[in-house]
Amino acid sequence: MSFNKPIFKGTATALITPFKDGAVDYAALEKLLEFQINGGIDALVVCGTTGEPATLDDDEHKRVLEFAIEKVNKRVPVIAGTGSNNTQYAIDLSRFAERAGADGLLLVTPYYNKCSQKGIVSHFNTVADSVNIPCIVYNVPGRTGFCISLDSYKQLAKHENIVATKEASGNLLLMMEVLEACGNDIDMYSGDDQQVVPLMSMGAIGAISVFSNIMPAEAHLLTKLCLEGNFEEAAKLQLKYLRLMNGLFMQVNPIPVKTACAKMGFCNNEFRMPLCPMDASDDEKLFALMREHNLIK
């Protein structure tokens, strides 16, 4: 099956997963979903890295996906994080997400048991073969220890179900080479909030954002301006929010952004180990940045 249009253009939020007393807090999750949609977000990524899927058990992972898809009810596309370093598990979870009604899949490169470039092409193609919804591959070597090469991108772009990449390699040269070589066959989303405008100025069609958890309207506007070709105003917004974007990564994601969401009243500041709350001194640094943008008092 081929897909004639992108899953989305603009900003998709890599949504946090809220917890309460050790369990998924579905009331808080619904509140977060409505905040995002009311803020004009273009799509939602559920159970991506920011959603702490590594500590969700299989039933929880599936239920969070089902719940989000049901509550969003096609108002915006829902992209399910179903990647794994176990190809068969990624297939099983991807098929489940398709049956549940997901609009697309986000597939991270295998981690820990790092594969070869030949292996990554086989892995993604095999998962993509197993479903009939569009797939976004996710290149984030800072977390996985593996970077998709230009040659691998060229091969992956040939698969009709692999429609896009979330690029968080930080390697602008690689991203430019992929856009030049594969731009007609595979769309690109910025996976780093700090690089949205530079990457979209070269042809990316949006971002998968952490920042938009707390400022969906502003994140939507940033990519909207880029899509309209108004890079001068987009650059002003990128710089306006740059220190806050950086602050959301003062510790490993999603610790700061969940801390911010909790401070805004959306959820508890609760994580699953090995993640843990920040020290009070770091909390205050983050809260000071938030106050600058009137997110909290």
Structural domains for the chain: 10-229 (3.20.20.70)
Q: Assess whether pLDDT exceeds 70 at residue 3.
A: no
Q: Contact 121/153 with Cβ under 8 angstroms?
A: no
pLDDT of residue 114: 82
Phi, psi of 163 (to 5 degrees): -105, -15
CB 193 within 8 A of CB 210: yes
Is the model's pLDDT at 244 over the cut of 80? yes
Mean residue pLDDT of the chain comes to: 96
CA angle 177, 183, 186 (to 5 degrees): 110
pLDDT per residue as tens digits for the range 52-100: 999 999 999 999 999 999 999 999 999 999 999 999 999 999 999 999 9
User: Confidence band (pLDDT; 50, 70, 90) for 133?
Assistant: very high
pLDDT for position 215: 98
- Residue 65 identity: L
Dump pLDDT digits (tens) for 223-241. 999 999 999 999 999 999 9
Average pLDDT on 17-34 reads: 98
Q: Is 166 designated active site? A: yes
What Cα–Cα distance (Å) separates residue 65 from each residue in 51, 53, 81, 99, 207?
Answer: 11, 11, 9, 11, 21
* pLDDT(1) > 60: no
Residue 256, pLDDT score: 98
Instruction: Please report which confidence band the pLDDT of residue 144 belongs to, taking 50, 70 and 90 as the band edges.
Output: confident
- Out of 9, 62, 112, 166, pick the active-site residue: 166
- Count Cβ atoms below 10 Å from residue 243 Cβ, excluding itself: 12
Q: Which residue has the higher pLDDT, 115 or 206?
A: 206
Query: Phi and psi of 79, rounded to 5°?
Result: -105, 125
- Cβ-in-10-Å burial (0-12, 13-18, 19+) of 276 comes to exposed
Residue of 138, 153, 189, 241 marked active site: 138
The closest alpha carbon to 126, from 156, 152, 154, belongs to 156
| pLDDT of res. 22 | 96
User: In the prediction, which pLDDT does 4 show?
Assistant: 62
| pLDDT tens per residue across span 176-205 | 999 999 989 999 999 999 999 999 999 999
Active site residue 89: no
